[in-house]
A and B are shown apart, each in its own frame.
Chain A
Amino acid sequence: MALLTLDQVSVAYDNQTILKDFSLELEKGKLLSLLGPSGCGKTTTLRLIAGFLEAKQGKFLFGGKDYTRVPVNKRNFGFVFQSYALFPHLSVYDNVAFGLRMRKVKDRDVSERVMRMLEVVNLNGFEKRFPQELSGGQRQRVAIARALVIEPDLLLFDEPLSNLDANLRVNMRVEIRRIQQELGITTLYVSHDQEECFSISDQVAIMNKGIVEQLDRPETIFKYPATEFVARFIGFHNFIEFDERSDAGDAISLKVGGRLFTATANPGTVRPGARKGAIRPDDLIVSGDTGQEAANALPGMIKVSTYLGRSYQYVVETELGDFTANQEMETPYFSGQRVNLIFPQDKLVLVE
């Protein structure tokens, strides 16, 4: 049974519905990311679970108990804020000790647990410093230690890395994943950065306008997006609307304007019968014009050619619209050149 269940929850502020009949489940010990553009409801979901917001309708179950009306301070969830939200008037030690003191833990145990947690986040020796004397990365580590020291039943992250610079972000996310796995703590992570979510999560939920478009392992989402929105969000720029579809086992034949394409069946992520094809610019092959008709090929003309450093990016004009393709090559195609676009069968996926 899932540790955390949101059951048909609705949230609205100022008569504006943010979440409607929203449901989500999370297993114990897993890290689930909520990923989506701003305004998709991911932060609202997180704040709802934390208890900062109340659901208008629906239920929030945690560990088999109804948490819908349990106040924030009685939930025992750790929350890590985007702005870190350290107590400016307290030292690092007192910041981390705050939650333990609220729980009336004995001073001796407080000191032991605080020091151990500072060790976990690699901040030993910093306990007498004040937040304004720390760098962004150190502040975030204090914030994580402060949330972890209370041994929370659930750890919540609200875009914790977005105020850090790029290098630090990569280090910190590895760190977060390490700590999460070391302590086996159930975690919900919110971000709008795809790479960040995919790299650290057991599961990713891609959200749009208050609904989950797809919830799956990162590898599955990356390869087989379920909907056009998800596909666009994770870098599929090319779409074809097919007229006909016929399935024969794993192979799917598709037709549009007399041209024949084959695609591979998705592992159950998409409703059978979906007829929209999607492919990444990196997977589309631009080859010289052979003049011959072939399956999974589409003749076209180079419209724009730009240099990306590792590869060239082409915008190719075809009878089915413009396609974007990236290709590594020594001598690039020139604008106006006739080419053939090849859609490899295992890279062309169907989305809703």
Chain B
Amino acid sequence: MREKHFGLGLFSLLVFIFLLGPLLIISVTSFEPGTVLKFPPEGFSLRWYENIFKTGGFIRTFQISIIVSLLGNLLALILGIPAAYALSRYDFKGKSLLNAIFLSPVLIPGIVLGFTLMKYLIVVYQLPMYLGLLIGHTIIMLPFIIRVIASSLSSFDFAVEEAALSLGAGRVRTFFQVVLPNIRSGILAAVLIAFLESFNNVDISVFMTGPGVSTLPIQMLTYVENYFDPTIAAISVLLMVLTGLLMFFIERIMGGLTYFTKR
């Protein structure tokens, strides 16, 4: 039987209010009919939602964000799956060092990483802005991809792979027909988590954007610097819905983010 604990209940409630309060306020203010963000709102209107689609920039940068996240995800998968496989399958010298290097983008402050990338990719090597943005996003997604897939591989019995070899399948074929199908859910979770990480990223993107090339979060940042109308609240609500949907899928596929904490 569970004990009822009044103090603890109250404390939990306060924590939830603290966490969810701002989201709630943003959601409510997005329906404000006036031209200034206000709480509580003075009426109900969807005009600022309409404004998202009318104002130039949001839709275009949303598309760029999606393209960069998806392409970056693909690149991170191409680099990350073999890395995760090697790190879980084999023992070799310098394995822990390599592990640390692959995870370092999470540990280094984004500002530092973003600035360094700009300094070298854009200034020194004169790469196009688009390419720099893509490389930056690939780098920040890589640790998530490797971590989640490696954790999925750690519960994979490699004798299964040997069984395929002994039955006549070559190494490459074994990887695609036996290993990959068995870590499918891990890969899907990795892709979703990495996507969120990239899609919401500001600190790397801010150095990699400029005239004509921008991501949605950067566009939003620029917008609030100049305007104070509820458009930004409306767009936040739409992003929350998108993020919420993705989280829902992660939850359904993997049983949540516990996937991250278990090694």
Cα separation A50 to B162 with both chains bound (whole Å): 10
By size class, the interface of chain A is 20 to 34
Query: B169 near A73 (CB under 8 angstroms)?
Result: yes
Which residues of chain A from 76 to 91 have any CB-CB distance to chain B below 8 Å in the complex? Answer: 76-79, 81-83, 85-89
Query: A73 near B168 (CB under 8 angstroms)?
Result: yes
Stretch of A98-106, A182-190, A323-331 on the interface side:
A98-106
Which residues of chain A from 89 to 116 have any CB-CB distance to chain B below 8 Å in the complex? Answer: 89, 98-99, 102-103
Residue B1 at the chain A interface, CB threshold 8 Å: no
Residue A146 at the chain B interface, CB threshold 8 Å: yes
Query: A86 near B160 (CB under 8 angstroms)?
Result: yes
Query: A79 near B160 (CB under 8 angstroms)?
Result: no
Query: B164 near A77 (CB under 8 angstroms)?
Result: no
Number of interface residues of B (CB under 8 A): 17
Residue B224 at the chain A interface, CB threshold 8 Å: no
Contact A81 B159, CB 8 Å, known A87-B178, A88-B182, A89-B182: yes
Query: A103 near B168 (CB under 8 angstroms)?
Result: yes
Using CB atoms, name the residue of chain B closest to A150.
Answer: B167
Cα separation A322 to B173 with both chains bound (whole Å): 61
Query: A78 near B182 (CB under 8 angstroms)?
Result: no
Q: Convert B4-47 into 0s and 1s, putting 1 for each residue whose CB lies closer than 8 angstroms to a CB of A.
A: 00000000000000000000000000000000000000000000
Query: A85 near B159 (CB under 8 angstroms)?
Result: yes
Neighbour of B163 across the interface among A51, A76, A79, CB < 8 A: A79
| Distance to closest chain B CB from A234 (angstroms) | 30
Residue A72 at the chain B interface, CB threshold 8 Å: yes
Cα separation A78 to B178 with both chains bound (whole Å): 18
Collect the chain A residues with CB atoms within 8 Å of residue B170's CB.
73
Residue B165 at the chain A interface, CB threshold 8 Å: yes
Cα separation A36 to B101 with both chains bound (whole Å): 43
| Distance to closest chain A CB from B142 (angstroms) | 26
Which residues of chain B from 152 to 168 have any CB-CB distance to chain A below 8 Å in the complex? Answer: 157, 159-160, 162-168
| Distance to closest chain B CB from A327 (angstroms) | 46
Residue A307 at the chain B interface, CB threshold 8 Å: no
